[in-house]
Every structure is written in C-alpha cells, then in structure tokens.
Amino acid sequence: MNAAVTSTPKPTALITGASRGLGAAIARELAPGHELLLGARSKDALRDILTELPEATPWPVELTDYEAVAAAVGAVERLDVLVHNAGIADLGTIAESSVTQWRNTLEANLIAVAELTRLLLPALRASNGHVVLINSGAGLRANAGWASYAASKFGLRAFADALRLEEPALRVTSIHPGRIDTDMQREITANEGREYRPEEFLTPETVAAAVRHAVETPRDAHPTEIVLRPIAR
C-alpha cells in the first residue's frame, strides 16, 4: 500500500488596502503561493478582486476602529506575511494643513499600522513571519506640500527599524517606491494642476513584483529596504 501523500499548506498572507491599485496587484502577485486574507474597509469594496481571486478570504475592517481590528485578528493564529499597504495621501502646505489633516494622516499611515502589527505579533511569531511595509519616497525625503504625509512615512520607517530590532525572528522590509500609476496618483496629479502621464510613474505590477521578491528571498537573507524609482523619460 502506498503511503498517503500529505500536501504542505500554503503560507498565509494578509494584505491591507487590497481592493484596488497596488494592494490588488500585490494580491495577484502573491496568490499563486499563498492563502490570502484581503483587507479593505468593507467586503463590498473587495468584490472585484475576490471575483478575480475567488479562493482568497475577505478581511473587511476599518483599520482605525481598534476594537473592530482586535476582533478581526482573533481568528488569525498563524500568519506568514503581513503587507501593510493601506494608507491615505491628504496633501497640502504646512500653512494650509489643519490639525484634523495631520491627525487623520498619522492615524491611517502610522498608528493603525503599529496597532495591527502589535495585535498580530503572536501569529507572526508562530511562523517566524515577514512584515512588509509599503512606504514611499516621501519616507526618505520630504518635499514642499507633503509635510504631514512625509512625517507619517518617516515615522513608518522608524517603526520598521524598531520592529526589526525588537523581533529578531521576524523579517521586516520597508518598500520605498516612487510615484505609482494608481487612482490615488491621478487625484494627486490633478490637485497639482498637472497633466496625468502614466508613463512617468511606476506600474503597480512592478512594485508588487518587488514585494513578492522580498517575501521569496531565502531565509538566510533579510531584505530590509527596497527603493524603486521610475526611469526618467
């Protein structure tokens, strides 16, 4: 009698902001090798990507509702990959920025990331997991009109650096892409009063491929930071 063949379960990856743009591209890139949990504010927002990736599991929760987040992570006992992709870009000069704008930007781009990571640490530790943070070129330098956004991304980089030291069994990767061809980018460019030229920007697929390469890097290496810039045209 032949011995029964047992298949090794796929690693599990949770992607926040997975309903469209870069998050959806990351989901497509990781789907062949991972069981996916796809995060968004609502299940309805995930309809299109779930139609495309029917084996993925929706994980709808408002990331700044911390009681709801704590409840949502309760069923996650083991997590191999956590991709922090969700975030906002509410831009303006310092003179024009309000307390509300600063608070909302830091809340969405930094505090919510820190709390979700904290709550998922037991699940990540169980698998010696990998935390990938979608940062920005604004996390390396601040430009005029981008103060609150850059502050949130500089903070996100500091968070990644501290997490890497505090949790040496985990891998922690900061991805710093330049501007990406997404709906959010179209809004930003419109607010700048410029013509939108997609060829000036990175594609979501290019950045998603960098995320996959980081996740698939053999365990003897720790990809700490990846910086991507569009080729000048």
Q: DSSP assignment, residue 108?
A: I
- Within 10 angstroms of residue 148's Cβ, the number of other Cβ atoms is 24
Number of H helices, E strands in the chain: 8, 7
The token pair that represents 62 in the structure block:
């408002």
Is residue 92 classed as helix, strand or coil in its secondary structure?
Answer: coil
C-alpha angle with apex 162: 158 to 167, nearest 5 degrees? 150
Task: Based on the residue annotation, tell me whether 196 is a catalytic residue of this protein.
Answer: no
Quote the tokens at residue 214.
């980081």
What does the alpha-carbon distance between residue 125 and residue 130 come to, in Å, rounded to a whole number?
Answer: 9
The one catalytic residue among 59, 149, 154, 201: 149
| Residue found by looking up tokens 């591209």 in the block | 25
Residue 37: exposed, middle, or buried by beta-carbon count in 10 A (0-12, 13-18, 19+)?
Answer: buried
CB 64 within 8 A of CB 112: yes
Q: What share of the chain is helix, strand, coil (3-state, %, to 5)?
A: 45, 15, 40
Q: Catalogue the active-site residues.
A: 149
